[in-house]
């Protein structure tokens, strides 16, 4: 039987040093390795997070005329990070430069807050209650 696939998360950012500081501060991750001058591996989440420095306005793909735009944007992919203390994590995120989009709100599975990082990527902080997602599972 083949080994299961592994998830690796890559985020394009226009300023690698700033992004590294932001994600290390907010998520408590640490640098694993640097991949040349334009990429860094961050470890400490369940999947490694690679920050890739790519200029705004550059072509996103040879197959598409779209260009990278680091203003807040909508994408169907975002990061959810489970934390023990959402109030503390929210404060750290805001101090690091995150834009708080919703404040902390209650949900059947716990408490959640939605943000944009300084580069336009969306992410959520979630503090699960004892039921977690089982509270909404069918």
Residue-range domains of the chain with CATH: 1-56 (3.10.180.10), 71-138 (3.10.180.10)
Q: What is the pTM of this model?
A: 0.88
Mean pLDDT by 10 residues, the chain (138 residues): 89 96 97 95 97 91 84 84 97 97 96 95 96 92
Tokens of 122: 């969306």
* DSSP E strands, 4-93: 9-13, 30-34, 39-43, 49-53, 59-61, 64-67, 79-82
State how far the Cα of 91 lies from the Cα of 116, in Å rounded to an integer: 14
| pLDDT at site 68 | 87
| pLDDT at site 69 | 86
- 91 three-state secondary structure: helix
Please state the φ and ψ torsions of residue 137, each to the nearest 5 degrees: -70, 145
């Amino acid at each position: 039987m083949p080994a299961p696939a592994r998830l690796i998360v890559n985020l394009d950012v226009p300023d690698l040093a700033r992004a590294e500081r932001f994600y290390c501060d907010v998520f408590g991750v640490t640098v694993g390795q640097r991949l040349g001058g334009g990429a860094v591996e961050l470890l400490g989440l369940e999947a490694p997070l690679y920050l890739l420095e790519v200029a705004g306005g550059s072509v996103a793909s040879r197959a598409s005329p779209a260009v990278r735009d680091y203003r807040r944007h909508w994408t169907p992919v975002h990061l959810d990070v489970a934390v023990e203390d959402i109030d503390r994590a929210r404060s750290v995120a805001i101090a690091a430069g995150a834009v708080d989009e919703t404040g902390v709100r209650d949900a059947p599975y716990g408490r959640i807050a939605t943000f944009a990082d300084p580069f336009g990527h969306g992410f959520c902080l979630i503090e699960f209650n004892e039921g977690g997602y089982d509270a909404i599972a069918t």
